[in-house]
Amino acid sequence: MKKLLFLLLLCPIALGLKAQRVDLDKAWFDYTYRNLPSSVLDKSYTTYSINITKTAALNIYSNESSSSRINIEGKKKLASGGHILVNLNLGDLIIESSQVKDRVEIHKDKDGKETGRSYFYWVEVVYSFSANSTAKDYKGQSIGSWNLSSSTSKKTYTSSEYSKSSDASDYYNNNKVEIKTRLIEEQINAALASLNGSLNSAIAYQTSSARVYFWDLGSKKNAEFANYTQATATSIAALKMMTANEIPTQIFEKLQPAIDYFTNLPTMYTSEEKGDKKMRYSAYFNLATIYLFTEQFDKAKEYARLLVNNDYDVKDGEDMFKQADNIIAQLARHELTSRHFVIDVENAQAPQ
């Protein structure tokens, strides 16, 4: 009887050793790659040029200064005659209306009784600005068009506040030209920034960075804590070696110990208990992440399927599978095999 009681007392201890606490923390890192553009262009299109037209009122702003704000990554800018021809049209800034506005601030004592009033005045200017752009290749084929600022979209400028209506009015009347000049500069800069972003998104193989994560084991008392955290750290250190230009071959050797560890982990936690499923989930997730970002897409999809079948977080597996398929489709569309490659346009020339 005493022996049976002793064995019964040991059972919870044995179960406790198996059912260890499993807390997962996200270990973030930055992954660098080339973002594939929305437009598919001939790979021989390595140069571009910019033509700017503007109204006489904007002649104080040089075309050279405006052109310097447009830089398409991975393509060489020429003064004229590039493979890609960008046309930028800058319209006038029109003052639609200007008027003095006011507000009143009521002062009260602790009992809520009004003790006085303060009046404030400022000038409100309503204005509009138009800018648009088109891009085509040197053969005349359209690449895209962008409405950068519409004259139908009204914008508002407000001055500082003054204690007298006349002071607000005088400020505007005495500084009309300077205010309009500043507004024009702001609107041109905004239009150029918008166009630069749109062009790079449409036709550049931009250097991009994404904030992604591995799962790390946050349970310090878990028997796997030391080995798990080492495997996660190893994975992050290796993937951080990647650049937009390349996936260094030594990455795969550096990743192997972590891959071996995460591959073995599900064979140690095989039950349908939540803790075991969670350990398998984290291992499959990390393996899918490793293979996805080292562009071993078949293996990434294999572990995405295991994530789904494990039935701990099915959505993560489905999302990982879709992500792999999307990248595969993008690469095929651009006739590329990787999102990591060198771009050299130093000696690029205009089309002959």
Does 130 score more than 70 pLDDT?
yes
Average pLDDT over residues 60-66: 80
Last residue of a domain, one of 172, 203, 234: 203
Q: Is 242 left (phi over 0), alpha (psi -120 to 50) or beta?
A: beta
Last residue of a domain, one of 203, 225, 257: 203
201 band by pLDDT with thresholds 50, 70 and 90 = very high
Does 5 score more than 60 pLDDT?
no
Note the pLDDT of residue 144. Answer: 97
Does 17 score more than 60 pLDDT?
no
Own/partner contacts of 115-119, CB < 8 Å, gap of 24 or more, are: 118/163, 119/163
Same domain, 310 and 166: no
Q: Which amino acid is at 51?
A: N
Same domain, 162 and 240: no
Note the pLDDT of residue 60. Answer: 76
280 within some domain: yes
Largest interatomic CA distance in the chain: 105
Same domain, 27 and 55: no
Predicted structure pTM score: 0.84
Same domain, 60 and 161: yes
19 band by pLDDT with thresholds 50, 70 and 90 = low
C-alpha span between 44 and 46 (Å, rounded): 6
Does 4 score more than 60 pLDDT?
no
Same domain, 191 and 70: yes
Same domain, 167 and 119: yes
Does 302 score more than 90 pLDDT?
yes
187 within some domain: yes
Last residue of a domain, one of 203, 233, 254: 203
Structure tokens at 30: 């930055």
- Indicate the number of domains in the chain: 2
- Top pLDDT among 219 and 1 is at 219
303 within some domain: yes
C-alpha span between 241 and 232 (Å, rounded): 15
Same domain, 197 and 211: no
Task: Please tell me the number of Cα atoms within 13 Å of 66 on its side-chain side.
Answer: 29
Same domain, 73 and 197: yes
351 within some domain: no
Same domain, 105 and 78: yes
Does 216 score more than 80 pLDDT?
yes
| Pairing state between β 47-54 and 84-108 | parallel
250 within some domain: yes
Same domain, 105 and 171: yes
Give the residue numbers spanning the domain of 175. 47-203
Same domain, 88 and 108: yes
Buried b (16+ CB within 10 A) or exposed e, 192-202: bebbbebbbeb
Q: Above pLDDT 90, what percent of the chain?
A: 89
4 within some domain: no
Average pLDDT over residues 312-335: 96
Q: Where are the beta strands (DSSP E) in the chain?
A: 24-35, 47-54, 76-78, 84-108, 114-137, 142-149, 155-158, 206-217
